[in-house]
Structure 1
Amino acid sequence: MATTGIAARKAMVEGVAYRYAQQYEDSEKEFIEAERLASSYQPQIMGEILNNRGALEVEEVKYVAAQETFHRALLLARERKDRVQEANALGNLGFVATKQEHFDESIDWNRSALELSRALGVKDTVAAIVGNMGWNYFALGDFENAMPLYRKAAEDSERRKLPATQAYWLTGVANSYYALHDERSAQAILEQALKLARGLDEKSILIKCLNDISPVALETGRMDLAEQYNKEALDIQRAGLDQSGVLYSQLMHARIQASKRHLSEAQRLLRGISRDPRADTPLKWEAQARLAKVYDDEDKFAQAEKEYRKAIGTIEAARKSLKQDEFRLTFLSSGIEFYDDYVDFLIAHGRPDDALKVAELSRARTLTEGLASTTEAASPATSRVRPQQDSKELNALLLFYWVGHEHSYLWAITPTKTTYFSLPKAADIEPLVKSYRKTILGMRDAQDAGSSEGKQLYAMLVEPAKNLIPLGSRVIVLPAESLYGLNFETLVVPEPMPHFWIEDVTLTTASSLTLLAASVTHPLPKAKNLLLVGNTEQPSADFPVLPQAPAEMKNVSHYFPDGDRKVLEGKQATPSAYLASNPERFSYLHFVTHGTASQTRPLESAVILSREGDSYKLYARDIVQHHLNANLVTISACNGSGTRAYSGEGLVGLSWAFLRAGAHNVIGALWEVSDASTPQLMDSLYGELDQGKDPATALRDAKLRFLHSPDSGSVFKKPFYWAPFQLYAGS
C-alpha cells in the first residue's frame, strides 16, 4: 500500500480527518507523507494535497507558511493546467490574506478565483468566494458592497440546503444593516439566522449568531435580552463546547457591565481584550475605545484620553497598511464611530479646539496622501493646521461640520477666533437633507411657503453662526457625511424676505483644513490656456449625442485665443487623446460630455468620450494617475461630484479624481444637469473669469444671472438648473 498511488490519497484523507478533529500534529504528519508518496506515484493530486495542507496551516495560525503552500499549489496547478485546483488555490490565497487582515489583497485574489470558478461552473466554490468577498468589503468599511455579496452567499446556501452556511452569511447581511444604522432590519435577519443555528449541532455558528444579535438588542434598549444572549454564548464557551468567538463574547459582556455601571468589571474585561494577542485589529480598537468610555465614566480623564489615542492609532495603522485607494476610501467607515466618541469626549471636557483637530484627522486622508505623493502637500501626520491663520490668508470664514450619531458640531473659524456650536444629531439632519434634495430635483420652487426644509436646514446649520457671517462674506464650507450632498447656496434665509443663501455670500466647498492650508502656499499657474474636451461621437445607445454640446464648446473656446487652447472633439475626443495631451500644462480644463458616477466603485466613475476600439470611458482611476496643475477643471456633466459620500473623505467621483490629480479648483455637478441651461451658465462663468474674477466669485455671479433673470417666468431661476454645479477647493 505504501508504494502505490492509493496510499497518497489515503494519507491526504486521513490528514483532513485529523484536521477536522483538531489533531494538528497527526494531520501534518499525514500531509507530509501524502506529499512524499504523490511526488513519486500520483503527482496529479499534489495540488489537492497542498491546498489541504495550507488549510491546516491556516487553522494552526501559521499564515506565512500557509501562504507559501497555497502559492506552491497555484504554480503547480497552472503548470499542470489543473483549473479546478488553480481556482481552489486562488480562493485559498484570498482566505489566508483575509486571516492576515490584508483585505485589499484578499479581494484581488478572490476576484481571480471567482472569475475562474464561474467559468468552470463550480457552484460550491463560487458561493464561498462571494461570501468571503463580502467579509473583505465589510472589514474595509464598505458595507454597501458587502451586503449584496453576503446576501447572495446566503441565498445560494439556502438553495443548496446548507443551513449552517446560510446562517453564517445571514449574520453578514445583518451586520451590514447594523453598521448602516438600520437596527430593525439587522434584528429581523439575525433572528432568522439564530433560529437556523439552534437547529444545528455546530456551536460555532450558534455563538456567532448570539454574539451578533446581542449588540443589536443592547443598542435598541433591550438590556435583558442582550444579557440573555450573551450569557448563552459564554455558557457554551465555559463548558468547553466551542471556543470560537470567545473574545467577542467577552467584549459584549464588558459592554453590558458598563451599561449596568459595573465599571471595574467592564474595565478588567476590556483591558484584557485589548492586550490579548488573539484579538484581531477591529476588536482591539473597539476594546480600546470602549475602555476609554469606561475610564471617562470613572472620571479618569487622562486614562480615557490615552485609550482614545490608542484606538485612533490602531485604526490609522490598519488603514495605512492598505495599498489601493479604492479600499482606503471606505476603511474609515469601520472606525468612524470611535472618532465620533473621541470628539464628543473632548467637547464634553471643554476642549473644542482639540476636538476640531481630531475631527480634522479623519478628513480627506486618501485625497491628501495622494497629493503628498506627487506634490509638497503636507500629510496630516506632519502638518500643523492653523485654522485662524488659514482663514486670514484665504480671506474667508471657514465652516467646519461634524455630523455624529449622538451629537453634531459646527466650528466657525475667522482670522481672530474659532467658535464652536452644538447641532442636532445625524438622525435629525439626514432626513431633512434627503427631503430637500428631493424638493429641488422635483423642480419645485424651494422658496415657496409649502417647502420648509430649506429654512429648517438654514436654521440648523448656519443660523447658529450667523452673527459671524457678514453679508458679502467669502465662506468655505467643510461638510461631513450627508452634508456633502447638499448645496449650501440653496438654503433659504428667512429674513428680511425668504431668499437663497447664495445671495448673501460666496461659497466654496472643501474637504479638509489640511488641504486648505496647502492651497495657501501653492502658486496658481501663470499661463492662461485651455484644454477643451467634448462634443463627442455617440459611443453607445446609453449615451446619445448632447444637442447643446457644440454651442457650449463654442462659447467656452471663445474666451481663449487659438494659440492658447487645445480642442479635442468629435472622433478625436478619446480617452487616449486626453491622456496624451499633457493635461498638466493647462490652467483650465473643461469637459462637455456625459458622465457616470458609480455608487459601489467610485473610481469606476467616468467621463464618456468617443469610442476608440472598445474604449470610450475616461475613468476616475486613470485621471488620478496624471498630475495636473490646473487653476480650474470644469466637468459639465451629470453627477460629476459623485453619488456616494465616504466617512472622512466626502463625495468621491470625477471631481474628487481631478482634485486628487492636483487641480486647484474643480466644478462638478451634484445631480443630473440640464442640457438646455448649462451652455448659458458656462458662457456666463467664463465671461466672469475673463474679467479677472476668481472661480468662486465667477461661478456665483453666473448663477445669480439665472436667479435674478428679468424674465419672471424663466424656469432657470429654480435651483434645479443652477445649483447642481458646486466649486470644490483643492490644494
Structure 2
Amino acid sequence: MDPAARFEQIHADFLGGHLGLAQRAASIERRALFSRDPAWSFKFCLLEAEILSYEGRSRDVVDTLADGTRSFSPRGDAAIKQEILLSLAHARLGQSQLASEELQQAQRLADSTLSPLQSEVVRAEGLLADRNGQQSTAASSFRKSLELARRQKDLFIEATDLSNLGTEALHQERLDEALDRFNASSAIAGSIHANVILQGVLGNAGWAYYSLGDYEKALVSFQQAEIQAKNLGATDNEILWLQSAGLSLYRLGDLKQAQSYYEEALRAADASHDAARKAVTDTSLGQLLLQLGQLDAAKARVDEALKTAQQIGDKASELDALFLQGQIAARTSNGADTERIFSQVYRDAAGTPSLKWETENAFADLYASRHDVRQAGLWYRRAIKTFETQRSSVQDEELRLPFFANGDELYRDYADFLIASHRSDEALQFLDGARARTLKEGLGESVQATQVQPETPSHTARRLNAVILFYSLGPQKSYLWAIDRNGTHLFVLPPEAEITARVKSYQADVLKSHDPLREGNSEAQWLYATLVAPAQALIPKESRVFVVTSGSLNDFNMEMLLKPGQSGSQEGAHYWIEDVSLSMASSIQLLSRLAPDKERTANKLLLIGDPVATGEGYPPLSNAASEVESVERYFPPGDRTILTQSAAVPVAYVDSHPEQYSYIHFVAHGTASSLRPLDSAIVLSPPHADPDNFKLYARDVIHRPLHARLVTISACYGSGLRNYDGEGLVGLSWAFLRAGAHQVIGAVWEVNDSSTPQLMEQMYHGLAEGEQPDQALHAAKLSMLHSQGVFRKPLYWAAFQLYTGS
C-alpha cells in the first residue's frame, strides 16, 4: 500500500481508540521503510510514539524516537513533533528540566518556520504548565492553541484543547463552564470518531460531578472511563480513572473498595513509571488510611507523595500532600508544627476554593480541640462563607442540587461545636438554614444558612398546633430536636450507619409483605425506641407531627414504626400512625411560612391518568379507570377536568393551565432516576404525532408555577430514589413542591394497583368532608390498617408520604 494511504489508515485506527493495533501497525511500517524510505519511516516513527504517549508508555516513547533517528535526521515539522513528544514523555517521567528544554526547542523551530504545528506546541506548553501546577498559564496556552487549531481547522486539536480547558475550569472549580467545555469537546470528538478523546472527556466529566458532590454519578463516569481507557490501552488515563473511582468510593463510605482501587492504580503507576499519578494516588491512599486510624501507614504514604511531588515540581499534588501531612500532625501532636503546615497550605490554596474551606475547617477543628472558642468559631464561619461563595457560583439548578454534599462535613462540625458550647438552639437554626436550599431558592425564599428565622421554631409549632421533629444523622453521633409550643429539646442518637442499617433491614421486610405488627418486628421496635421514644413525652396522642428528616430517613415512612404497649410489652403494641398524623417537611424555615389551611371557595380538579399502554414495559393498569371514577365523583362536573386514555398526553398537562387547579391527581406508571433525579417521570399516553414523547418529566414540571392545595402522584416511586445531602429525596414530589404546590403525596416504593384506588377513594371522601390533606390521608391509611385482609400490611398503606411545601 502507498505509505500515505497506509499512514491515514493507521491514524484512523489511532483516533478510533484501537491503540494497540495502531501502534503495532505503525511499528511494522517504520521498520519496513527504515532502509528504502527513511523520511516515511520517521513519519511512522512519530505516529508510533504519539500512540505510545496516549498509552502512557513514556519510556517507550523515548526509546522509539531514539531508534527512529538512527538513519534519519529530522528537520522542519518532523523535528518539531519529535521535540513535543519527547518533552511530554520526559515530563511524565519526572524529568522536568529536560522536558522544558525540549519544548523550548520545539517552540523556536515552530516560530522560525511558521509551522502548522504551532497549535500542538502551545498545547504542550499548557500540559507542562498544568503538571507543574501553573493553572492560569496552562489555561492561557490552551486558549491560544484552540484559536490556532480553529484557524487551521484541526478538529482533533480543537477537541483536545476544549477538553483541556474544561479540566482547567475544574481546577478553578468553575463547574458549569467545565461541563460546557466537555460537552463541546465530546461533540467534536464524536464527529471525527476520536474515541481516544471521548474516554478522557467522560472521565473529566466525572470530576465535574465529583466537585459538585454528586459522587454516585461521578463513580459511574470514572468506572466507564477506566474501562474505555483499559480497552484503548491508555495506561496513563486508566491510572487516573482508577484513582478517581477510588476517591468517589471513599466519599461514598466504601473504604474497602476504595482501597482496592487505589492499590490497583499504584501498581499501574509504578509499572509505567508515572510519577505524577503515583503522587496523587499515594496521597489518596494516605487519606483513607488516616480515616481508618492507621497513622503510621498514612504518614508513610504522604511522605512518599510529598517527596515525589517535589521532585517533579507538581505544585497541586504537593499542596494536597501537605494538607494531609497537617491532618496527620493534628492527630499526633497539637503543637506549632500543625499550624505551620496548615498556614503554608492556606497561603497557596487561594485559587482552589475546596482546599481553602477544608483548610479553614481544619484550623477550626484544631482550635476547638484546644478549647479556643473564639478562634474556632471564627474559622468555622470562614469555612462556611468560602463554601457558600463557591456554591453560589453554580448557576445550573440541577448541578446545584448535589453540591451541598461538599459542605456537609463543614456544617456538621460547626453544629457539633455549637452544641458543645451549649448553643443547641443556634445549632438547630444553623442546620435548618442549610436544608432544602435549592428548593427554597426555586420558591424565591431567602436562603442564607445563618439568617434569623422569621419566627422561632417553637412559635411555628404553636401556630401550626403541631410537634416538629428535626433529625440530623452523622457518622459519630446523630441528633434529634423535638420542638413543641414550649421550646426545643435536644436528644443525642446513635451514629448514622447504625440507624441506616436498621432502616434498610426493616424496609426490606416490609417490601417482602411481612406483617411487622403480628411478627413483633425487632427492627421496627428498635427504631421507635431510638428515633421517637426520647421525645415521646412531648408528643401527646393524636398530635399533628411534622418530620424534617436526614439521610436514610428521607425515603422511610416513620408511621410504620412499632410503639410498644404499656411497660414495653408486646401486648398493646401498635404502629405509630395510630397515635399521630404525620407529614414530611423540607425545613422548619419553610414550615414557618406555612399558613394554616383555610377552606377555599374554588376546589377545581385536574385529573390525568389511565393512559394508553405504550408497549415500552409499562403494562395497562387494570384498576386505573376505577380510581379515576372514585376521585372525580367528589367534584362537580364544572369543577373538574379529566384527561384519560389518548387525551392523557404530557403536553395536555401544560395546555390545561395547571396553575388554576386546587387539586391535581395523576393515575399512571411512574419512573424514578437515581443518577438524574429530574429525569423522573409520569408515564402517560404516546401522542399520535410524537409517539416517543410519552413522559411528563420532573424537569418540565418545575418550570410551570402551581398554586395547588394538593398534588397526588398515584404512581410508583413518585417520591423519587435519590437522596441529596441537605436537600432530601429529589424526584417528582420535589419537582411539584418546587413548582409551588402546597402539599404533595408521593410513593417511596412500588404501589399496588389494587389497594391504591381504595386508599384514594377514602382520602378524597375525607377531603370532601372538610378534612385537611394530612388528616384525610391519615384516616384513609387507618381504614386499610384496620381491615382484616392483606391490605392491613404496611406494604400497601405506608408507600405514600405527604410532603408539605410552603
State the TM-score, normalized to the length of structure 2. Answer: 0.83
- Match of residue 325 from structure 2: 253
Asked if structure 2 preserves the Cα contact closer than 8 Å seen for 1:28 and 1:56, the reply is no
Asked if structure 2 preserves the Cα contact closer than 8 Å seen for 1:263 and 1:294, the reply is no
1:618 is aligned to 2:690:
no
1:217 is aligned to 2:292:
no
Cα displacement (A) at 1:569:
1.5
Structure 1: distance between partners of 2:628 and 2:448:
38
- Match of residue 659 from structure 1: 737
- Match of residue 483 from structure 2: 413
SS in structure 1 of the partner of residue 401 of structure 2:
helix
Structure 2 CA distance for partners of 1:685 and 1:158, relative to 1, 3 Å: same
- Match of residue 345 from structure 1: 417
Q: Which of residues 696, 705, 716 is equivalent to 2:774? A: 696
1:494 is aligned to 2:494:
no
Q: Which moved more, 1:236-245 or 1:356-365?
A: 236-245
- Match of residue 187 from structure 1: 259
1:474 is aligned to 2:549:
no
- Match of residue 562 from structure 1: 637
- Match of residue 646 from structure 2: 571
Cα displacement (A) at 1:378:
6.2
SS in structure 1 of the partner of residue 760 of structure 2:
helix
- Match of residue 72 from structure 2: none
Residue type matched to 1:597 in 2?
A
- Match of residue 360 from structure 1: 432
Structure 2: distance between partners of 1:15 and 1:213:
33
1:720 is aligned to 2:790:
no
- Match of residue 3 from structure 1: none
SS in structure 2 of the partner of residue 611 of structure 1:
coil
Structure 2: distance between partners of 1:605 and 1:223:
44
C-alpha distance after superposition, 1:582-607 (max 9, x if no partner): 11111111000111000101011011
Structure 2 CA distance for partners of 1:220 and 1:26, relative to 1, 3 Å: closer
Structure 2 CA distance for partners of 1:8 and 1:197, relative to 1, 3 Å: closer
- Match of residue 447 from structure 1: 517
Structure 2 CA distance for partners of 1:67 and 1:200, relative to 1, 3 Å: closer
- Match of residue 268 from structure 1: 340
Structure 2: distance between partners of 1:448 and 1:37:
87
1:594 is aligned to 2:669:
yes
Matches within 5 A, 1:40-189: 59=134, 61-62=136-137, 65=140, 68-69=143-144, 72=147, 76=151, 80=153, 83-118=155-190, 120-189=192-261
1:647 is aligned to 2:725:
yes
Cα displacement (A) at 1:168:
2.0
Residue type matched to 1:384 in 2?
Q
C-alpha distance after superposition, 1:392-418 (max 9, x if no partner): 111110000000011100000112210
Structure 2 CA distance for partners of 1:49 and 1:472, relative to 1, 3 Å: same
- Match of residue 579 from structure 2: 504
Structure 1: distance between partners of 2:314 and 2:129:
20
Structure 1: distance between partners of 2:229 and 2:350:
30
Matches within 5 A, 1:327-342: 327-342=399-414
SS in structure 1 of the partner of residue 606 of structure 2:
strand
Structure 2 CA distance for partners of 1:690 and 1:74, relative to 1, 3 Å: farther
State the TM-score, normalized to the length of structure 1. Answer: 0.92
Residue type matched to 1:431 in 2?
A
Asked if structure 2 preserves the Cα contact closer than 8 Å seen for 1:51 and 1:73, the reply is no
Residue type matched to 2:368 in 1?
D
Structure 2 CA distance for partners of 1:13 and 1:541, relative to 1, 3 Å: same
Structure 2 CA distance for partners of 1:116 and 1:569, relative to 1, 3 Å: farther
Asked if structure 1 preserves the Cα contact closer than 8 Å seen for 2:707 and 2:740, the reply is yes
Q: Which moved more, 1:219-228 or 1:588-597?
A: 219-228
Cα displacement (A) at 1:388:
1.1
Structure 1: distance between partners of 2:457 and 2:411:
20
Give aligned-pair identity as a percent. 39
Q: Which of residues 300, 320, 326 is equivalent to 1:228? A: 300
Cα displacement (A) at 1:487:
0.3
Cα displacement (A) at 1:450:
5.0
- Match of residue 528 from structure 1: 603
Q: Which of residues 531, 534, 543 is equivalent to 1:464? A: 534
C-alpha distance after superposition, 1:555-583 (max 9, x if no partner): 11111111111122111211111112111
- Match of residue 377 from structure 2: 305
Asked if structure 1 preserves the Cα contact closer than 8 Å seen for 2:119 and 2:146, the reply is no
- Match of residue 674 from structure 1: 752
1:325 is aligned to 2:397:
yes
Cα displacement (A) at 1:623:
0.5
Cα displacement (A) at 1:29:
9.8
Q: Based on CA coordinates, which of the two structures has the bigger radius of gyration?
A: 2
Q: Which moved more, 1:609-618 or 1:270-279?
A: 270-279
Cα displacement (A) at 1:524:
8.4
Asked if structure 2 preserves the Cα contact closer than 8 Å seen for 1:433 and 1:457, the reply is yes
Cα displacement (A) at 1:152:
2.3
Asked if structure 2 preserves the Cα contact closer than 8 Å seen for 1:639 and 1:671, the reply is yes
Cα displacement (A) at 1:232:
1.8
Structure 2: distance between partners of 1:215 and 1:302:
29
Structure 2 CA distance for partners of 1:325 and 1:130, relative to 1, 3 Å: same
SS in structure 1 of the partner of residue 703 of structure 2:
coil
1:708 is aligned to 2:786:
yes
**Aligned residues between the structures:** 713
Asked if structure 2 preserves the Cα contact closer than 8 Å seen for 1:369 and 1:379, the reply is no
Structure 2 CA distance for partners of 1:554 and 1:583, relative to 1, 3 Å: same
Asked if structure 2 preserves the Cα contact closer than 8 Å seen for 1:63 and 1:99, the reply is no
1:687 is aligned to 2:765:
yes
Residue type matched to 1:352 in 2?
S
SS in structure 2 of the partner of residue 528 of structure 1:
coil
Structure 2: distance between partners of 1:35 and 1:389:
74
User: Structure 1: which 5+ residue stretches go unaligned?
Assistant: 1-5
SS in structure 2 of the partner of residue 384 of structure 1:
coil
Asked if structure 2 preserves the Cα contact closer than 8 Å seen for 1:144 and 1:176, the reply is yes
SS in structure 2 of the partner of residue 447 of structure 1:
helix
Q: Which of residues 601, 620, 642 is equivalent to 1:545? A: 620
Cα displacement (A) at 1:326:
1.7
Structure 2: distance between partners of 1:73 and 1:393:
66
Residue type matched to 2:294 in 1?
R
Cα displacement (A) at 1:153:
2.3
Cα displacement (A) at 1:443:
0.6
RMSD of aligned Cα (Å): 2.7
SS in structure 1 of the partner of residue 517 of structure 2:
coil
Structure 2 CA distance for partners of 1:190 and 1:524, relative to 1, 3 Å: farther
Structure 2: distance between partners of 1:219 and 1:450:
38
Cα displacement (A) at 1:7:
5.0
Structure 2: distance between partners of 1:527 and 1:379:
36
Structure 2 CA distance for partners of 1:451 and 1:361, relative to 1, 3 Å: same
C-alpha distance after superposition, 1:99-151 (max 9, x if no partner): 33122332233234335434543221122112111111111111111112212
C-alpha distance after superposition, 1:237-264 (max 9, x if no partner): 4556654411111111111111112332
Structure 2: distance between partners of 1:278 and 1:163:
32
Asked if structure 1 preserves the Cα contact closer than 8 Å seen for 2:433 and 2:451, the reply is no
Structure 2: distance between partners of 1:56 and 1:37:
23
Structure 2: distance between partners of 1:550 and 1:35:
76
C-alpha distance after superposition, 1:203-240 (max 9, x if no partner): 21111111001111111121111111122223334556
Asked if structure 2 preserves the Cα contact closer than 8 Å seen for 1:57 and 1:63, the reply is yes
Q: Which of residues 448, 453, 465 is equivalent to 1:384? A: 453
Structure 2: distance between partners of 1:664 and 1:299:
45
Q: Which moved more, 1:575-584 or 1:643-652?
A: 575-584
Cα displacement (A) at 1:426:
0.5
Q: Which of residues 706, 711, 717 is equivalent to 1:628? A: 706
